Amino acid sequence: MKRLAVFMFIFALAAAFAAPSFAADKVVVKIAGSKPDGNPQTIGMRTFAKRLGELSNGKYDVQVFPHNQLGKEDNYLTQTRNGTIQMCCVGPQSSRFHPAMAMFETPMLYEDLDHAHRAMKGGVLELIIGPAKGQTGKFGQSFVEKSGMRVLNAYPIGFRHFFTKKPLKTMDDVKGLRMRVPNVPLYVKFAEFCGISGQPINYVDLPSALDQGTVDGGDSPFGDILSDHLYEYAPQITISGHILVLQNTLINEKFYQALPDQDKEWFKQAAYEASEAVWAECARVDREARDIITKAGGTVSTPDKAFFDALFKAGEKTWAMFLNETIDGKSNPGYVPNAREILDAALSFKSAK
């Protein structure tokens, strides 16, 4: 029996030394998202997975779960916070932990993708997510402290544009339209200030709502308009660009802090490269969307300055949701102490025209 035990020990030891050096240290990382393959969000996740694997020489095996495979956004956001999974990609849902996170999608804040890209790289991202751990003051607590998650990057899904059954030439054409809006207070308020009859409808139900005439149109980034063929139901596309849909890659803070310093750098580098890839992809989609829609029989039009001026006034009214400590005499849960600084900083990155 002793000889057998010694033999088994030697065999196991030899097998261990024969295995690849990273095998024992291989770490599985799960990242969840809500969008299907081909969407900028999923492109970002897959780019991150590929680059982290390359940078770490295979140490990290990033498993990508798109299209709500691990539950809807609220569910996988909670899983990331609790550490059930390590990472996820989300939009303004994260504002439930930190109100400033909703400011990523402030209406009429960015004139184009280049403007938004400059702003995010120029410090606006840091102003939104808050100070480093231990710092206080006008920012209040940071997103990390409030949520237990860290923001690794910010990248676009695309600008929201109107799609309707009838052309929109002036803001008078917009008023009274029954338009699908996401059931998000910021979006609902913006529609109200535009004179739109906002109809909160789940996105998955939008095509049938358009087909049955329940709504006259809606607004979505070009990526969604193309992938879901919304132009077939509402062929008049108005390039309004009133809200930029921005997403973040989040990582569980305890998991992140347990990483060796070199590994943290790999994660940050992979997240940065994934973000840059998505910015480029969104720009490409925007360039090609007009031809695709036009060839399919739709119409893509750019409104005049008066239209954009009216949109800006409507968007500016929503900024009070971040700027005011109280609304209608009640405490405002969406109040952001440094909101004015965030807005001014983002606006400062506009191009000189």
> Per the confidence metrics, is the pTM higher than 0.75?
yes
Q: What sign results for the dihedral spanned by CA atoms 61, 66, 72, 77?
A: positive
- Tell me the HSE value of 112 on the side-chain side, using a 13 A CA sphere: 8
Containing 31, the helix (H) or strand (E) segment is strand 27-32
Give the phi and the psi of residue 137 in degrees, each rounded to 5. Answer: 100, -145
Q: Give the per-residue pLDDT at 132.
A: 55
Which residues, listed in sequence order, are joined to residue 245 by a DSSP beta bridge? 158
Whole-number Å distance between alpha carbons of 336 and 353: 30
Q: Is 143 in contact with 94 (CB distance < 8 Å)?
A: yes
| Both structure tokens of 64 | 């990508």
Kind of pairing between the strands at 326-327 and 217-220: unpaired
Q: Give the per-residue pLDDT at 353.
A: 62
- Using one digit for the tens of pLDDT, what is the confidence trace for 20-44? 333 457 999 999 999 889 889 999 9
Q: Give the per-residue pLDDT at 204.
A: 82
Give the phi and the psi of residue 181 in degrees, each rounded to 5. Answer: -130, 145
- Closest of 318, 308, 303 to residue 164, by C-alpha: 303
| Both structure tokens of 334 | 């969406």
Whole-number Å distance between alpha carbons of 327 and 106: 18
Q: Which residues of the chain have pLDDT under 70?
A: 1-24, 132-140, 353
| Both structure tokens of 17 | 């030394």
Q: Give the per-residue pLDDT at 170.
A: 95
Q: Where in the chain are the domains? A: 25-347
Give the ranges where 203-259 is alpha helix by DSSP (H): 206-212, 222-227, 253-257
Whole-number Å distance between alpha carbons of 86 and 48: 13
Q: What architecture (CATH level 2) is domain 25-347?
A: 3-Layer(aba) Sandwich (3.40)
Q: Give the per-residue pLDDT at 4.
A: 45
Q: Give the per-residue pLDDT at 13.
A: 40
Between the CA of residue 79 and those of 62, 75, 91, 168, what are the distances in Å?
16, 6, 16, 42
Three-state secondary structure readout of 233-297: CCCEEEEEEEEEEEEEEEEEHHHHHCCCHHHHHHHHHHHHHHHHHHHHHHHHHHHHHHHHHHHCC
Ramachandran area for residue 297 (φ above 0: left; ψ -120 to 50: alpha; else beta): left
Q: Give the per-residue pLDDT at 140.
A: 62
Q: Give the per-residue pLDDT at 141.
A: 78
